[in-house]
Amino acid sequence: MGKIILLDEDTINKIAAGEVVDRPASVVKELVENSIDAEATSITIEVKEGGKSLISISDNGLGIMKDDLPHVFERHATSKIKDIDDLIKIRTLGFRGEAMSSIAAVADIELESQSGNDILGSNLLIKAGKIIENKDISSSIGTSIKVKNLFYNTPARLKFLKSDRTELNYISDTVEKIAFSNTHVAIKYIVDDKVIFHTPGNGDLLSVIQCIFGIKAAKMMLPVTYSNELLSIDGYIAKPEFSKGNSTYIIFSINNRMVRNNMLKEAVKTAYKSLLMNNRFPVAILNISIEPDKIDVNVHPTKAEVKFSDNKSIFNLIYYSLTQVLTSNETPYTESFKDKNSFGVKEIHNLNDVKYDTMNMLPAIEKALGVTEIFSKNANDGMLINKTEKRYVSSSGLIIGQIFNTYIIYQKDDTFMMIDQHAAHERIIYEELMIRSKQKNIDQQPLLMPIIIELTPKEKNLVEAGIDILNQLGFDIEFFGENSLAVRQVPIILGQPCSGAMISELLDTINEYRKDFSAIYGKTIIQMACKSAIKAGESLTNKEIEELITKLFNTEQPYTCPHGRPTVITLGKNEIEKKFKRII
């Protein structure tokens, strides 16, 4: 007897459902896209318990004709295409005919729909993929579908769902992206009987950004409009000073379909590369309009991934359109796009004030090697002149000064050191914060006026999850209104009050590590230390340098910052003399 067997229909349907519906957010995506394809201009999305107990989608679309109702929940039944040739010109969001049958296979469903072609509407009850009740009702034009008890008959899938809050974050991400890519639709989003947001449906993307991200975020956005024979790009990107800790907020839609594509994200990140610090990511919400035959959306059953026929051209056009906006925006960041070729040696008046360029490293290196004179370029005649400068000697070594206003040059005994002032200060603050937080001894500063921070729905969930950590680290925060946070006290770090706006960035850390409390706690302290530390490019006095060096070498791990980067690069006298061939 052979080993191959034919699976029964119920098993086939549940396996197929796993490809399309892997969590509540997948159900929301598929149903809302059906509403949009039905030409709805108003959609209400309601979820309870992270979508596990209820997902309800109601729209004012065309409705489902009575004759079509028996086929809605059959596999590969669709009104969007007739044959394979239609795939190369598809403009609807759905087309595979799998979503409804997949959802029906793993949940209880109640559907009400009224088509303009029918006198009465219909009410259907579906269980285990089968229609168990079908009755006529009087209803308005459109469709309402309620999905209950998701994965009740697939306990393995139910077991691997995350907490209600985590699943809700996935749903919120999905709803936000659909709202951004379909601004002509008014979307009302309700969670556990509470309205989270309601977009106007007026076709204005900036109105949707303001509705979801808040007024302050909307004011930081720059419009992007570009068009050529291949595609058109419309949307908004944020000024560089408004950035995030991950790439979640780089959002693309193609022909109003939200998509995932790493190449598109890389194009955006490349445009911002010289404008943002490491581990900071831009905010971009862009829609690409392109002829359907230039893309393939049939890559995966979820239809979230897309392939282009010409990746290189798409990448270049995204990059070009964004850099045009960023360079025309009058901010100090635009200098980063200009070619800098000023490598001449400048006249040196004070080692702590000068901004060294490549050749200006020479004086500091000469002093570190024991040379007592500095050579600089005279601005009048271009001649090299001698300029003797008094050296500052600390109690433990010789402070030479700074280069690039970023690295401290220091000599101790026969060792030459270059110290990264930001990394060193970061190490000092981190260890002090760790000690103080364990002792619950972080000083706080009350604010005369509370800082009000607008939150996205996802960020509000993150604050609820991480509020104990934030309080323990010295922030006194409380919710203010529907989607805002009031910061009333902030921690004092090395005598300076911490910025309350830092909370927005700390939420990225909480989001990244979610349930791992110890990781969140440690990473949050690292982030606080990083944001509070002396920055690259800041000029320091000799007294400040000496204090920094003294504190650094009193820490437990003076040679690395909390991120693991080196704080100090050292060269011994013998190594230097070997490089100059003084010794063999």
pLDDT, tens digit, for every residue of 263-278? 899 999 988 887 887 7
Domain check: are 91 and 192 in the same one? yes
- For residue 429, tell me if it sits in a domain: no
Mean predicted lDDT score pLDDT of the chain: 78
Residue 142 within a domain: yes
Which tokens sit at 251?
């959002």
- pLDDT exceeds cutoff 90 at 397: no
Nearest to 421 by CA among 553, 536, 530: 536
Question: Is-contact 284 249, C-beta < 8 A?
Answer: yes
Instruction: Kindly report whether the global pTM for this prediction surpasses the value 0.85.
Output: no
Strongest mean pLDDT among 285-289, 465-469, 473-477: 285-289
Give helix 262-271 / helix 311-328 axis angle, nearest 10°. 30
Q: State whether 111 and 178 are in the same domain.
A: yes
Instruction: List the domain range (segments joined by +) for residue 294.
Output: 220-337
Residue with tokens 């306990």, as numbered in its chain: 155
Q: Tokens 């991120």 map to which residue? A: 563
Residue 71 falls inside a structural domain: yes
- Domains identified in the chain, total number: 3
Q: So what's the pLDDT on residue 464?
A: 81
Q: Are residues 185 and 288 in the same domain?
A: no
Tokens of 425: 């200060």
Look up the CATH number of the domain holding residue 479. 3.30.1370.100
Tokens of 205: 């993307």
Is residue 193 located within the same domain as residue 241?
no
Domain boundary among 337, 357, 383: 337
Judge if 226 and 195 occupy the same domain.
Answer: no
Assess whether 245 and 155 both reside in one domain: no
DSSP notation for 21-37: -SSHHHHHHHHHHHHHH
Report pLDDT digits (tens) over 129-145: 788 999 999 889 999 99
| Structure-token pair, residue 16 | 């197929």
Residues 6 or more apart from 568 whose CB is under 8 A from it? 417, 418, 419, 420, 424, 552, 558, 559
| pLDDT category of residue 74 using cuts at 50, 70 and 90 | confident
What's 268's domain CATH number? 3.30.230.10
Q: Are residues 275 and 192 in the same domain?
A: no
What secondary structure does DSSP assign to 414-479, as a single string?
TEEEEEEHHHHHHHHHHHHHHHHHHTT---EEEEEEEEEEE--HHHHHHHHHHHHHHHHTT-EEEE
- 356 domain residue, yes or no: no
Most confident of 135-139, 367-371, 434-438: 135-139
Q: How far is CA 579 from CA 360, 380, 463, in A?
A: 20, 35, 54
Among 317, 337, 357, the domain boundary falls at: 337
Residues 470 and 329 in one domain: no
Neighbours of 224 (CB within 10 A): 20
Residues of the chain with pLDDT > 70, as a percent, come to 76
Q: Please state, as a whole number, how many other Cβ atoms lie within 10 Å of the Cβ of residue 556.
A: 7
Same domain? For 192 and 226 the reply is no
Using DSSP bridges, classify how beta strands 284-290 and 250-254 pair: parallel, antiparallel or unpaired: parallel
* DSSP label of 335: G
Question: Using CA atoms in the order 428, 432, 434, 435, what is the torsion angle rounded to 10 degrees?
Answer: 140
Model pLDDT for residues 199-217, shown as the tens digit of each residue: 999 999 999 999 999 888 8
**131 domain-assigned:** yes
Q: How far apart are CA 490 and CA 474, in angstroms?
A: 6
Is residue 167 domain-shared with residue 237, that is, in the same domain? Answer: no
pLDDT at 235 over 90: yes
Is residue 177 over pLDDT 90? yes
* Within a domain: 212: no
Domain of residue 43, CATH code: 3.30.565.10
Q: Given its phi and psi angles, is residue 151 left (phi above 0), alpha (psi -120 to 50 degrees) or beta? A: left
Residue 527 forms part of a structural domain: yes
For β-strands 42-48 and 186-191, DSSP reports them as parallel
Written in H, E and C, the secondary structure of 518-565 is HHHHHHHHHHHHHHHCCCCCCCCCHHHHHHHHHHHCCCCCCCECCCCC
Domain shared by 238 and 96, yes or no: no
